[in-house]
Amino acid sequence: MMGKNRIKGKAVFGRNGRKGIVSYSVKGPGDAVLDAYCDVTGAYLLEDGSVGYLSESEMDPSEYGYDPDEFYDDVESGRADGLIVGEMYMDTVRRDGRSTEGGCYGYVQGETLRSWLERNDYPLVDRRIPDEVWEALEGGVPAPDVFGAVDRWLDGRLDEEGLCEELLG
Model pLDDT for residues 8-23, shown as the tens digit of each residue? 333 333 333 333 444 4
Looking at this protein, which amino acid is placed at residue 152?
A: R
Assess contact for 143 and 97: CB atoms under 8 A: yes
pLDDT greater at residue 56 or residue 2 = 56
Q: Calculate the CA dihedral of residues 41, 153, 91, 58 and round it to 10 degrees.
A: 10
Assess contact for 34 and 107: CB atoms under 8 A: yes
Per-residue pLDDT at 13: 32
Per-residue pLDDT at 27: 59
Average pLDDT, the chain: 82
Per-residue pLDDT at 38: 78
pLDDT greater at residue 59 or residue 46 = 46
- Region 130-134 average pLDDT: 96
